[in-house]
Amino acid sequence: MLPIKWDISFPAPENPEFTFIDLFAGIGGFRIPLQELGGKCVFSSEFNYHAQRAYEYNFGEVPFGDITKLNLDIVPKHDILCAGFPCQPFSISGKMKGFEDTRGTLIYHVFELIEKRQPKVVFLENVKHLVYHDNKRTLSTIVQHLAELGYVVSKKVLNASDFGLPQNRERIIIIGHKETKFDFAKIKKKPKPALKDFLDKENEFEYLDEPYTILDEQKIQDSGLVFAGYRNKTIRKAGVRPGTEHLSRVHKQPNRIYSTEGVHPALPSQESSGRFWIWHEGEVRKLTIQECYRIMGFPNKFKLLNNKAELYKQIGNSVAVPMIKAVGEQIKKQLLKIEK
Ligand SMILES: C[S@@+](CC[C@H](N)C(=O)[O-])C[C@H]1O[C@@H](n2cnc3c(N)ncnc32)[C@H](O)[C@@H]1O
C-alpha cells in the first residue's frame, strides 16, 4: 500500500461512519459509492496490473495483488466485506465439512477471510449466470458456506436500468449479516432512462462503415432495449422463414443495432473494442469510452488511464455504481443501523 494523499479524485471521507474492504477491486466500482456513503476502505486486492494502476490513479492506493497469496493477518477488521468475485465451478467430492470443497477457487479465500475477520456484512456481486452456474450448485454452495460461517443470507438479481442508468445489466447481489435478513424490497428504484440522454455531444465517433438495415417499426422491449436494425452481413438465413430475417433471435448479438430511445445492452467483460452499435440521430455508431463509463454511473471526475482496449475491458468488468450505492444505502440503514 502506498497511500498518496494529494491530487486524487476519490479521497477517503474525513469522518468515516463505517469501514469496508474491496476484494477483486477492479477499478473501484464498489469503492466509489461506499466512500460516498461515508465508508473508509481499509484494504483492497486486485492483481491485474492495468486495473491496479487505474485504482492507484483514482484512489491513491495500490491494491494488494493476488488474493491467493494473501497473508490474512495483514487485513484489518472491517464492517463490510465487498467482493465482485470471478465465478468458477467447484468440485464437490463427497460430503465435506466447512468450505473445503471450494479449495482452489477464489471464493475459498473470501470464506477464509470472513472466518478470520468476521465482518458484520458480506456484500457479494456476480453475473446473473451465477444463479444457473454448474447446475445451480455454485450459488447454493456459496449460500450454504456463508450460513455455516454464521450469516443470514439474502440474494436478488438487480438490473442497472432500475437505478437511473440506461443499461440492461443484470447482476446477482448476495448479502450476509449475522442476525438480520437483508430486505431487498426496501431498495428504491427509478424509471428506466433513455440512452440518448447520456451521450456525448462531441467526440471522435466511430460510425458503421458497411451496409445495415433499420426497421420501420421499432418497439421497446420489456428489458428497455429497442431493437432498431442489424448489420447486413453474416445474417443467419438458413432455416429461417422468408421475411422474418430481421427478428432479433436470428442475429448474433454483435450484429444488432439498438436505438438510443431505449437502454443499451450490458457492456460485456473481456471485450476490448466496444461491441454494440447504436442508432442515434439517423446514424449508426459505437459508444465512446466516455459514454461507456457514464452508463455504468462512474462520475466524470473518474480519471481514465490505460489504452482503449484496457479501458473497455475494465468498464465491462466493473459494477453499476448507483446500483451498488442503492444497496449500500440499505446495508447502512438495515444492517449497520446508521440512520444518516
Ligand atoms: C468481475 S471483476 C470485478 C470488478 C470490480 N468489481 C470493479 O468494480 O471494477 C473481477 C476482478 O478480480 C480480479 N482477480 C481475479 N483473480 C484475482 C486474484 N487471484 N487476486 C486478485 N484479484 C483477482 C480480476 O483482475 C478482475 O479485475
Cα–Cα dist 226/258, whole Å: 6
- Digit-coded pLDDT (tens) for 250-305: 555 668 899 999 999 999 877 767 678 999 999 999 999 999 999 999 999 999 98
Which residue lies with its CA nearest to atom 18 of ligand 1? 66
Please give the CATH topology (third level) of the domain spanning 195-301+306-313: DNA Methylase; Chain A, domain 2 (3.90.120)
Instruction: Mark residue 158 as left, alpha or beta (left: phi above 0; alpha: psi -120 to 50; beta: remaining).
Output: beta
Q: What is the pLDDT of residue 237?
A: 64
Tell me what the pLDDT averaged over the chain comes to: 90
Which residue lies with its CA nearest to atom 20 of ligand 1? 66
Distances (CA, A) of 189 to 34, 119, 157, 186, 215: 18, 27, 13, 9, 32
DSSP-assigned letter for residue 50: H
Reduced to 3 states (helix: H, G, I; strand: E, B; else coil), residue 131 is: helix
Q: Would you say the CB of residue 44 lies under 6 angstroms from ligand 1?
A: no
Asked if the model's pLDDT at residue 174 lies above 90, the reply is yes
Strands 256-259 and 277-280: parallel
pTM equals 0.92
Which residue lies with its CA nearest to atom 8 of ligand 1? 29
- Digit-coded pLDDT (tens) for 1-32: 555 666 799 999 999 999 999 999 999 999 99
Q: Would you say the CB of residue 208 lies under 6 angstroms from ligand 1?
A: no
Half-sphere exposure of 69 (CA within 13 A, CB side): 6
Asked if the model's pLDDT at residue 242 lies above 90, the reply is no
Residue of 10, 24, 126 with the most ligand 1 atoms within 8 Å of its CB, for mutation:
24
Cα–Cα dist 119/77, whole Å: 7
- Provide the H-helix boundaries in the chain: 31-36, 49-59, 106-117, 137-148, 289-294, 308-317, 321-330
| Atom of ligand 1 lying closest to residue 66 CA | 20
Of 41, 82, 87, 292, which one is the catalytic site residue?
Answer: 87
Distance of CA 51 from the midpoint of ligand 1 (Å): 9
Sign of CA dihedral 102, 108, 111, 115: positive
Q: What is the pLDDT of residue 255?
A: 80
Cα–Cα dist 169/72, whole Å: 33
Q: What is the pLDDT of residue 4?
A: 60
Cα–Cα dist 298/321, whole Å: 6
Distance of CA 254 from the midpoint of ligand 1 (Å): 25
Known catalytic membership, residue 292: no
149-172 as b/e: b if 16+ CB within 10 A: bebebbbeebbbbbbbbbbbbbbb
Distance of CA 86 from the midpoint of ligand 1 (Å): 7
Per CATH, is 18-190+319-335 categorized as 3.40.50.150?
Answer: yes
Q: What is the pLDDT of residue 54?
A: 95
Q: Would you say the CB of residue 29 lies under 6 angstroms from ligand 1?
A: yes
Distance of CA 112 from the midpoint of ligand 1 (Å): 17
At residue 150 the predicted structure's pLDDT band, cuts being 50, 70 and 90, is very high
Strands 277-280 and 283-286: antiparallel
Residues of the chain with CATH 3.90.120.10: 195-301+306-313
| Atom of ligand 1 lying closest to residue 83 CA | 6
CA angle (156, 316, 266) in 5-degree steps: 60
- Digit-coded pLDDT (tens) for 44-100: 999 999 999 999 999 999 999 999 999 999 999 999 999 999 877 666 655 556 677
Q: What is the pLDDT of residue 238?
A: 66
Cα–Cα dist 144/99, whole Å: 9
Q: Would you say the CB of residue 24 lies under 6 angstroms from ligand 1?
A: yes
Strands 80-83 and 283-286: unpaired
Q: Would you say the CB of residue 27 lies under 6 angstroms from ligand 1?
A: yes
Q: Would you say the CB of residue 126 lies under 6 angstroms from ligand 1?
A: no
The pLDDT > 90 percentage for the chain reads: 73
Cα–Cα dist 69/72, whole Å: 9
Q: Would you say the CB of residue 235 lies under 6 angstroms from ligand 1?
A: no
Q: Would you say the CB of residue 318 lies under 6 angstroms from ligand 1?
A: yes
Q: What is the pLDDT of residue 64?
A: 97
Q: Would you say the CB of residue 311 lies under 6 angstroms from ligand 1?
A: no
Residues of the chain with CATH 3.40.50.150: 18-190+319-335
Q: What is the pLDDT of residue 65?
A: 96
Which residue lies with its CA nearest to atom 22 of ligand 1? 46
- Digit-coded pLDDT (tens) for 118-145: 999 999 999 998 898 888 888 998 999 9
